[in-house]
Amino acid sequence: MNEKINWKVCMKGFLHHVAPYKGRLIIAILALVCSTAIYAGNPLIEGSITTQLTKDAKEIMNQVEGAHVHFDIVIKTIITLAIRYGLRAFLLLVSAFFLTNAIQSTMRDLRNSLQTKIQRLPVRYFDSHAFGDVLSTVTNDVDTLSNALQQTFTKAITGGLTFILALSMMFKINVTMAVVSLIIIPMTVLITKIFVKRSQRLFHLQQKTVGEMNGTITELYGGFNEILLYNKQKDAIKQFEEVNERMAKSAFKAQFISSMISPCISLVTYLTIGGVAVLGCIFVIQGTIVVGGLQAFIRYIWQINDPLSQVSQLSSQIQAAFAAMSRIFTLLNEEEEEQKGTVSIDAKEMKGNVSFEHVQFGYEEDLLMKDVNFEVKSGQMVALVGPTGAGKTTLMNLLLRFYDVKGGAIKIDGVDIKDMNREQLRSLFSLVLQDTWLFNGSIYDNIRYGRLNARKDEVIDSAKMANVHHFIRTLSHGYDSMINEEANNISQGEKQLLTIARAILKDPQILILDEATSSVDTRLEKMLQDAMQKVMKGRTSFVIAHRLSTIKNADLILVIKDGDIIEQGTHESLLKQGGFYEKLYNSQFANKTVES
């Protein structure tokens, strides 16, 4: 997505999410405008006190009859100022409340939109985008946008208004002094340009060393056992210290150069104030302006100094906000997976007959599968075998419509799956993967995830069929035992058993087992095989397995190589053919003989 599209798409999408809260934003902006107007008028009122006291002192020194300090006027002015400052504080509080409410509500809606979008994205999107990158968009980019809006919105509005009002007040007090004061603007721009140009390169270097630091930490802690085993602790410490030292030096340079902007702008401000003070004193002596006017003028210089000194900070935050918006709305505008279908199905009425008819498929232009044909009757067990990368899992991804075929058709009970609603289609399946997935929660909730309305006795029956009930009973809290976020407080084999129990509970028409027994030991594997025989009875099942000894009883074995089915039949018939399957089977048997 190019920069021009970014601006249009980002702003349109962002304004769409902000629209429900525009009333709150308007209140926040009006409160900011009023508070800024009050703030801009205060120096003149403060100056009037100085003018009044100077006038009273001069009359007393000149022994004017009835001369005295007009404390009543001074007190009234102080009370007026107190009311104005109090009102300004209240308006800022109102603004902060409504602004924060609007921004955080918008960010909540953005996160919800991102989560909803992710659920609708096709699998191919995640094949080409790193999980960490997607996670960063949902978390870091939304937080970056939120922080930037929270910090820059108020500063940008109040800074801009303060600058305009303060400058107009300065011209109102004295045009000559105002023109002289304008030197602060080009000097600020020049200083900011010089230091930002230097600091950007240093910040880039800092981020690079941060990446090196993260990589080093990941490497060292990922191989912690090996470091201890080979007594390389000192080398590891030295490696870390070297990266840490580079990071400290680059961070120091970047932060030091960046922090020089504000003092330099303040120096220009002080010099400007000094020049204006000298010039103002001359005008006071000449009677061109009053003392209070000079005091107010100097206050106004400080007022325009604040937004100018924040220019670099606002600039970096705004750039960060637009970069975050670009990533957020790039994701939100990704092409979604089509959910609707022309045919509505009832999962309970489906039998589970599956047929692949001249199926063609390829991830890119070149076809991986050129002409795949086979038919599976309801209740049959089908085994998919072949070398790694042959296309076994791809075949199941096509069946689940994680990808769509480029030619031919896949049918279930005679209905083309392209005509089915994806959600209805996937309700027919239970899928058990080699890489297990359990979430932070109780064992009971993790099993019940397969069917949320299941009764507890059904959950327990599923666990018994998966041969995991006994293990659960040995835990102190049984089915209420918690699985932590990393799911590392139970073994890999036990996790696999729990996911199988979850699949059993769903009671699907079609069961897919992708290396489902690869993470369990021999004893558990036998228990699982017995359980699987019960589970697969009466329903269509597809089993992907590297260990060919586990699929001898399959009704149909599909031998896949380079994306296509090169052989199919039963275990015995394939051995008699003396083809690729026979070689594959004998090679595993030979390996086991050598190992034993």
Confidence grade of residue 31 (pLDDT, cut at 50, 70, 90): very high
Residue-level pLDDT at 470: 87
pLDDT of 187 strictly over 90: no
Answer yes or no: is pLDDT of 549 > 80: no
Q: What is the pLDDT of residues 486-515, one digit of tens each?
A: 666 777 778 888 888 888 888 888 988 876
Minimum mean pLDDT among 110-124, 235-249, 314-328, 368-382: which range?
A: 314-328
- Dig out the tokens for 356 from the structure: 């692949």
Tokens of 567: 């052989």
Q: How confident is the model at residue 1 (pLDDT cuts 50, 70, 90)?
A: very low
Please give the sequence-ordered ranges of beta strands (E in DSSP) within 249-353, or none if there are none. none
Average of per-residue pLDDT across 41-57: 82
pLDDT confidence of residue 522 = 65
- Has residue 592 got a pLDDT over 60? no
Q: What is the pLDDT of residue 2?
A: 41
The alpha carbon of residue 496 and the mean position of all alpha carbons in its chain are separated, in whole angstroms, by: 29
pLDDT at 589 over 90: no
pLDDT at 393: 84
β-partners of residue 407 are 360
Given a cut of 60, whether residue 375 has pLDDT beyond it is: yes
CA–CA distance, 439 with 485 (Å, rounded to integer): 6
Residue 495 token pair: 């996790």
**Residue owning tokens 């007090």:** 173
Mean pLDDT calculated for residue range 126-139: 74
Among 301, 381, 409, smallest CA distance to 557 is for 381
pLDDT at 435 over 80: no
pLDDT(525) > 70: no
In 3D space, the residue among 156, 177, 184, 174 whose CA is nearest the CA of residue 36 turns out to be 156
**Higher-pLDDT residue of 567, 65:** 567
Q: What is the pLDDT of residues 193-234, one digit of tens each?
A: 787 777 767 766 765 676 677 667 767 776 777 787 778 888
The residue assigned the tokens 């007040």 is 169
- Ranges 18-27, 304-313, 414-423, 494-503, most confident: 18-27
**Integer Cα distance of 103 and 18 in angstroms:** 8
Q: What is the pLDDT of residue 595?
A: 41
Determine the average pLDDT of the residues in 531-537: 71
Strand order of the sheet with strand 381-385?
A: 429-432, 510-514, 540-544, 381-385, 556-561, 564-569
Whether pLDDT at 3 is above 50: no
Percentage, residues of the chain above pLDDT 70: 89
Residue 405 buriedness (CB in 10 A; 0-12 / 13-18 / 19+): buried
User: Could you tell me the pLDDT band of residue 5, with boundaries at 50, 70 and 90?
Assistant: very low
